Structure formats: C-alpha cells, structure tokens
Structure 1
Amino acid sequence: MRSRAAVLCVLLVVLAGCSAPFSIGGEETTSGGSNSPEAGGAGGPGADTATADAPVQNLADPAADVLGWEGGYWYNESIPVTAEDGLNASEQSTFVNRTMARIERVRELEFNTTVPVEVISREEFQGRPNATGGGARSPAFRTFDNAKFEGLFLIGEGNNSLAVQQSNRNQNVLGYYSPTNDSIVVVSESATPRISRSTLAHELTHALQDQQFNLSEGTPPTRDGYNARNGLIEGEANYVQRRYEGKCGGQWRCLDISSAGGGGGGDANLHLGVYALEYFPYADGPAFVDSVFDRKGWAGVNALHEDVPESTEQVIHPRKYGTDAPTNLTIRNASSAGWERVRPDGRPDYATLGQSALSAMFGYTIYDSYNQSPVIPPQAFLNREGRSVNRTDPFEYGLAYTNGWDGDRMAVYEKNNRTGYVWKLAWDSPGEAREFVRGYRDLLTHWGGERVLGRQGVWEIERESPFADAFRISRQGSTVTIVNAPRPDALDAVHADG
C-alpha cells in the first residue's frame, strides 16, 4: 500500500533554488551537517563568541579587507536590525554584509565585491518566466524535452514538460542567484520584505562560488551532466548553509527574518516525480562535498570546481568520483518510413539522463495517481527519520534497479507530430543489466503495459494510460536498448532491430 503520510512529509521539504543555469532544488531552514569549528581564516578581533544583536556592539574595522569582514561588519559583530517588522533598506544592507562576512568565515574564501540582493513578492516572481530558466524555446526543443520526460514516465505525451517544470518552480522557489546579473533575488511571502537567513546564506554561497570559480562557464548540455555539476554547486551551498546554521544559537547570535509559512503554498499541485528529479543535487550533493572535505578540507572542495563530477552516479557514490567514468554510447540512425530524428538548436541531439533520473522514474510510482501499487516500496526511495521523512535528504537515489548504471543515451524521433525514441543504457555487468530490465518490465506493467504476443521483447501500454505507447526491450551483455513508438508496428520504423 502506498504511504500517503510519506507524501505529506515530503511536501514539507521546501524548495529554495537558483536561476539558470542551475536547476531548482531544496534549501532547509533547520540546522544540520557538521557543527565542528572551522580551522584558520583571518578573523576579526577575539574568538568566535556569540554577541547579541541588541544593544549594538561596534567592533573596530580592519585596515584592509580581510576574511570574515564585509561592508563594515565582522562575522561576530552585533548589528542594529529589528527582525519583527521586516527590513528597511539600511537594515537589509547591514544584514547582507554581516551574512557575507559569516559565509567567508565558514567557507574560508573572500568575496571580491558586494552582492546586490532584491526582495520581491511571489506574485512578482511568477511574472518573471526567465528567472528560473523558462522563456521561449524552439518547437524542436519542446518536442525533444517532452519525449525525454515521457521516456522517464514522469510527464505524459499530452502535457507540456517545460510548463510542468516551471509550475513546480513557481510554487516553491524561495530565492535564486543570477550569474548573469551577479545578484540575488529573494522571494518574500509577506508584504513587508523579509529574508530567510538560510536562503540568504545559500544564495550568497553561490555568489561566492561565482566570484571565485565563474559559474557561467562549462554548463553541461545533458540532464545527467547538469545534475552532476549541480551536485557540487548546490551540494556545496547546502553544506555551507548547514555549517552556518550550526553556529547559530551557539557561537553566533542569528536573526531570523523569514516570513511565516515557508514556501509558496502551492504544494497541492506539485509534480513529485519532477520534484524528485530536480531535488537530487540538494539531497545527495552535500554528502558528496562532505566526503571530499573530510579527506582534503576546503582545498579539496576548491579543486572540485576544476574537475566536476562526470555523472550523477559519482555524486550518489562518491568513491566512484575520478575512477568510474561513464561509457560514451552511440545510437546509429536506423529509422525509416518518414521518421526523422529531432535535432534541437543549441544543444546535442541526444539526452543522457543518468542514475538520478532513473531513480526518480522508479520513485515516482510511489506517488502517481494512476496505479496504487508502486514498483518499489516507499522505504526503498524515502529516507525516514522515525515516522517522518528526512527533510534534508528525503530521497534515496542509489536504488537496486539503478545501481550499476554506466552510461545512457536517448535519441528522439518524430513523424506527423507523434514521437518515438531509442534509449540505450550501459551497465557495469550483465547481471546489473538484467536487474534493470526486470525493474523496467515492472514499470511498464505499473503504467498499464502488457506483453505483445508473438513478438519477443515487445510491450504495449493501454490507451487509458498517460504513457500509451509500444516498447521493445532488448539486452546484449551489459547493454540494454529500449525502442518506443506509438504502436507496435511502428517500432521497426523508428529503429530497425539488429
């Protein structure tokens, strides 16, 4: 039986987020991660002792800009800010500057310039479609993206995948950093401007990353590469944010100026499959960063920016970072009868979806409304703490059906406004490939699929299903090939067997 309580618990995990080129994901308002004191760093006067924010205690400014001091404020200096009535312009500037000083202290990196912060209402945010990666896309791009999400059994063929993703973001984003504008936007749920200290710490970490490592360069073109890089970018931001929060109430006095109620209040319409896909960097990224920090400190984390993870598998399984590069697969064009390959402008004509996407594909069966019997049990996908779901790491992306992933490539084809695709997946061993095929057959059954008599490896999903189509599954050793078409008799036209 599906766990409805688990669904409600997962909905409590509030998305924060970033702008393009980064995906949208979660940012926690509870403390977590390591609370151990950081080493070194040029600090302000005295030790890291808590100082009350009222009455004001002014500390002497340094002769030059140093680590832990920004815009006239030390990391442990009290500030003249009244949290109860929101922030006026001068209070916001003060709050931002001290938070920058604290991020410097935690991360042991220096801001080069002050970061502008704008506070807007959710209504205004939703009127900015380009803020989180929306905007105009070519027909080929839309066709390609729709087919990709259909192939993951997340969004049915009759729906607009870009609109679904944008709707998720509009409901839940609390803030984002724009590398293009070198600025932060915070979404306030109240008329009086309010800023969550966690959201501000998270987004200021992105600004620091951009100033030190240039986040505008090297954006991967595929979903797997994108989520893998974000495992570092968002994982580091969440990791720093949690270390910052860990000092609040102990070494530091911290203001909380967030608006009551958290996210955007639209969780009832949240698409949980897309949510799980896009939440991956925030869930597994911090542990990946922590694994490097434990061995090599911040210098090791700095080095990651020069050699980012190649796959989400490397983020899920940190031991594979630098040692297990994904297989570079190819798909020969073997279409006929008018089926043409979709080649979107400005991006590769193939998709690589990765282990995190495959895990979201199986995990979504816990939540969808089509079938009450999930392919995997909730406890396999949901990380629980007692009767609740872990708010900082809700999803388990290392599933039995997806472990052993070694690469994948999907090509999309179109004819008369109908689409099909060829999806080739490499696995570490024939046994891992067989296990995935077993899970994939269960997935087809979940969505209303049945074997087609007399045709080996061919399945068809019933018309009432959001994924009504035909599928051919074949395995050769450690490689699995899936061909999709509107009907069984079109499978060979999309991709000839052999």
Structure 2
Amino acid sequence: MSRGATLLAVALAAGCASGRLVRDGQVNASALAAVARDLPAVRGLDFLRPVPAVALRPDDVAAWVRRDIDLSYPGDDLDRVSMVYERLGLLPEGVTLRAVLEHLYRGQIAAFYDPRSKQLVLATEALGAGGLGVRVFSLLTGRDLVGELLVAHELTHALQDQRWGLPTEPEPLIDSHGDRVLARRALLEGDATLAGFAYVQRGTPSRDTIDQVEQRLHGIAPTLAAEYPGVPEIVRASLAFQYDVGTAFTGWALAEGGWREVDRVEADPPASTEQVLHPARYFGVRDRPIEITLRGTEEMEAAGWRRILEDTLGELTIRVLARRALTQDRALGVADGWGGDRLRALARGDELLLVWVTAWDGPPDAIEFFEAMPDVMPAARVERRGERVLVLMGPPAVLDGLSARVWTRTTSARGG
C-alpha cells in the first residue's frame, strides 16, 4: 500500500488552511512568507531555494490530485494491485483502490506540497472546515492554529525534498519494495508533524511534550474508522501508521539528539515498517530485513503466465491481514518476528497465482505464522521449512511442481 499511502498523506493533511494564507482566491504572499521565514530556525534547516505557492479552485485541486494518482499508478497498476489485494483478503470483493482513493480525497484537500512541481498547492476555499484534517491536527493544537500547523507541515516536506529528495517516480510494480517505501513515508510524515507542531509552539518540543503529542495522535486510527467505515482497513492502517507511528519513531530521534539526529535518520531512513513499529530495532541493534530473491516461477512464465506484481508486504501489512481473523493481540504476535518477505503475482487469462515467501527471525516465529495461516487465509496452501514459510494461492494443478521449485531456487540473506 506504499504508493497509495503516499497519496493518502495528502488527504490527512487536509482541512482549513486559514483564511489569512489564502485571501480572495489568491495566495497571501506575506502570510506565507512569514511561515517560510520562521520555520527554518525551528526545524534547523534552511531552504536552499524558494518554494513557490499556487492557489487553485477546489475543482482544479481535485484534478491535480487525480493526475497525481495516475502518475503514481501508471497504466493498469491500480487494477493489478486491487486484484492481488482482493485475493489476499485485504480488499473486499469488488472494491477498487481507485474508488477508495477518490472517496478519501473528495472534499478533504486544502494544501499539499507537490515534489514533482516543487510547489505548495493551496485551495482557494477553506474546504471541509470541519473535515478530517482539521479534526486530526486539532489533536495537536487549537483550531485557530491548524492552518499554520498544516502549512508548516507541508513546507517541511519542501525542506526534506531539497535536502534528501522525495520520490516522484513510482517503482515498477513487478519490482516494488512497498514496505521500505512506507517506512520512509512514516519518517517523512513524523518529521513534518513534529516540525509543524514545533512551529506553532515556537520551539523544539521536550521529551514530555513529544510523549503528549504521540498520545494525542493515537486518536487518528479511531477518527479514520469513524469517518470512513467503508474504507478498507489496509488503507486506514497505512495512513494512520505514517502519522501516529511515524511521529513516535521520529520523536525517538528528536528526544535523543534534537533535529540534528532527525537529519541523520533522514539520510539513513528505516528499511522496514518493523523498524518503525519497534524503534529499538533501528536505534539500538539494527534489525535489517532479510532480502529474499524469489525464484521458481520461470517455467510458468515461459508457459504463458505473466508477472503482474512483486512486492514486500512487511510487518504492518501482515498485522492488518492477521487482524481479519484473529484477535488484536494474536495478530500482533503473528506479525512480530517478521524478518522479510516477497510476494509475486502471476496472471494467465482469468487465473491468478500468488507466491509468497516469508522469512522469520527464528523457527518459533515461523511456526506461529504458519499455524495462524489456516484461519487468516483458509484458501491458501501453506508450507514451512525452518525459518521460512511459503504461501501459495492458485490453480491446484500447478502448485506441487511450483512449490518444489520455489523451495529449491529461492535464496535469502540478511540485508547489509
């Protein structure tokens, strides 16, 4: 859900971008300049170049976002992701990611930084003054300061882009690393959220204040569930993860070493959602993901099966998947101990085949995942060998030979 989550960050950062920032359909240049002038001293980074701002009518903002969806998911990428997620059980039957994204955007966008054009985009109207973004950012500050917090948040993304670069081109869907991308998104959003809060508070928050911010942000998940009960949990969880867990992760760095430590982490971002969910596995002894090179489908591809997706799901997505059938506590336990995974999807006509190799920190973790899978994915064929578990879904006639080849040819190694 990495590319979708990147887009969804825009929806959460929506709300009323204070009338003093957009006035009479135009950007209030002096008000915006005041935020841009004062933010660097708070965040500890100077702008390398000015950030132009553009004010757009709501219809034009919506068109801009639709274009961003198309650029982030070129061709039939959204359809392919939707097909695979539906088979996994992460999307209800008949629900498409495009419909979900467009539903979330509707009436929620007020401001965002666009890394492609390097511009800050503001809506000319205070869209959804009582909308999702206002309620979320009101968890951190009073409503009268939400607009300033929002703009400082988005300008922090511009600072990040100028220093470390923000992604503008999607990874090929047949060679994606979504878990790693989502982990970095959590860092970016956590950094921007804390910087926005620091701006409206006019100073770097203390450890106690960071703890209070984190506690308030725990309200994001229930807010999303209440506002968007029809949105699949994988979408809501990916979005809440960026702001709630991402802020906790970034807060760890900020409390330990100030903004300079946050800068160090930005230059060496977390490699997995596991590291973000468990900060000690990044800041302490680094628990690097196991890199899996999935092989064994070559004969099938030569026989007409087409590779349509390959990605890493990661601990967060496994949590969401497991929560479909298990209690919250057991789902957390099943996902914990994740070491790495690789999912490959192949299609031939109307047939879909999923090959999912997972690697775990030790045999007990692999056994826990293996024993949960009949409840979580009852239609799947699940096999375990030591610390690895293979999950297959597809036409039964092809699974025996495929299983043997995947076990024999797939390799894995702990990342460096």
TM-score (structure 1 length as normaliser): 0.62
1:273 Cα deviation from its structure 2 partner = 2.8
The answer to whether residue 197 in structure 2 is matched with residue 197 in structure 1 is no
User: For 1:121 and 1:277, how far apart are their aligned partners in 2?
Assistant: 29
1:163 Cα deviation from its structure 2 partner = 4.0
Equivalence for 1:326: 289
Equivalence for 2:159: 208
Equivalence for 2:252: 291
**Contact 2:187-2:249 at 8 Å conserved across structures:** yes
User: For 1:223 and 1:118, how far apart are their aligned partners in 2?
Assistant: 31
Provide structure 2 residue ranges, at least 5 long, that are not aligned to the other structure: 135-145, 206-222, 408-416
Letter in 2 for 1:245: V
The answer to whether residue 60 in structure 2 is matched with residue 124 in structure 1 is yes
User: For 2:321 and 2:53, how far apart are their aligned partners in 1?
Assistant: 36
Change (3 A) 1:161 1:494: farther
SS of residue in 2 equivalent to 1:234 = helix
User: For 1:406 and 1:170, how far apart are their aligned partners in 2?
Assistant: 38
**Contact 2:36-2:155 at 8 Å conserved across structures:** yes
Letter in 1 for 2:6: F
User: For 2:363 and 2:177, how far apart are their aligned partners in 1?
Assistant: 26
Equivalence for 2:137: none
Equivalence for 2:211: none
Give the CA RMSD over aligned residues: 3.8
User: For 1:21 and 1:284, how far apart are their aligned partners in 2?
Assistant: 14
Change (3 A) 1:236 1:151: farther
Identify which of 309, 315, 330 aligns with 2:270. 309
User: For 1:181 and 1:230, how far apart are their aligned partners in 2?
Assistant: 19
Q: How many residues align?
A: 359
The answer to whether residue 411 in structure 2 is matched with residue 474 in structure 1 is no
Higher alpha-carbon Rg: 1
1:274-423 equivalences under 5 Å are 274-321=235-282, 323-334=286-297, 336=300, 340-343=304-307, 350-363=310-323, 365=324, 375-377=326-328, 380=329, 399-423=332-356
**Contact 2:26-2:55 at 8 Å conserved across structures:** no
Q: Deviation per CA, 1:192-231, whole angstroms, max 9, x where unpaired?
A: 9998222212111101111222224897742111101112
SS of residue in 2 equivalent to 1:333 = coil
User: For 2:64 and 2:103, how far apart are their aligned partners in 1?
Assistant: 12
The answer to whether residue 402 in structure 2 is matched with residue 491 in structure 1 is no
**Contact 1:236-1:286 at 8 Å conserved across structures:** yes
Q: Deviation per CA, 1:456-475, whole angstroms, max 9, x where unpaired?
A: xxxx3xxxxxxxxxx10011
Q: Deviation per CA, 1:69-128, whole angstroms, max 9, x where unpaired?
A: xxxxxxxxxxxxx95896247772122111112321220111233322233344433333
Once the two structures are overlaid, the 10-residue window that deviates more, 331-340 or 309-318, is: 331-340
1:172 Cα deviation from its structure 2 partner = 4.1
Letter in 1 for 2:61: F
User: For 2:21 and 2:200, how far apart are their aligned partners in 1?
Assistant: 22
Identity over aligned pairs, percent: 25
User: For 1:362 and 1:408, how far apart are their aligned partners in 2?
Assistant: 15
Equivalence for 1:257: none
Change (3 A) 1:325 1:230: same
1:412 Cα deviation from its structure 2 partner = 0.9
Change (3 A) 1:352 1:289: same
The answer to whether residue 27 in structure 2 is matched with residue 24 in structure 1 is no
**Contact 1:288-1:318 at 8 Å conserved across structures:** yes
**Contact 1:19-1:177 at 8 Å conserved across structures:** no
User: For 1:111 and 1:350, how far apart are their aligned partners in 2?
Assistant: 37
Higher helix fraction: Structure 1 or Structure 2? 2
TM-score (structure 2 length as normaliser): 0.73
Change (3 A) 1:128 1:83: closer
Change (3 A) 1:187 1:355: farther
**Contact 1:413-1:420 at 8 Å conserved across structures:** yes
Q: Deviation per CA, 1:403-429, whole angstroms, max 9, x where unpaired?
A: 111100011111222211100111111
**Contact 1:85-1:192 at 8 Å conserved across structures:** no
Equivalence for 2:371: 438
Equivalence for 2:82: 146
Identify which of 424, 427, 450 aligns with 2:360. 427
Equivalence for 2:217: none
SS of residue in 2 equivalent to 1:328 = strand
User: For 1:172 and 1:275, how far apart are their aligned partners in 2?
Assistant: 15
1:337 Cα deviation from its structure 2 partner = 9.7
1:294 Cα deviation from its structure 2 partner = 2.0
Provide structure 1 residue ranges, at least 5 long, that are not aligned to the other structure: 1-17, 30-81, 251-261, 366-373, 382-397, 450-459, 461-470
**Contact 1:420-1:494 at 8 Å conserved across structures:** no
User: For 1:299 and 1:272, how far apart are their aligned partners in 2?
Assistant: 35
User: For 1:231 and 1:123, how far apart are their aligned partners in 2?
Assistant: 29
Letter in 1 for 2:316: S
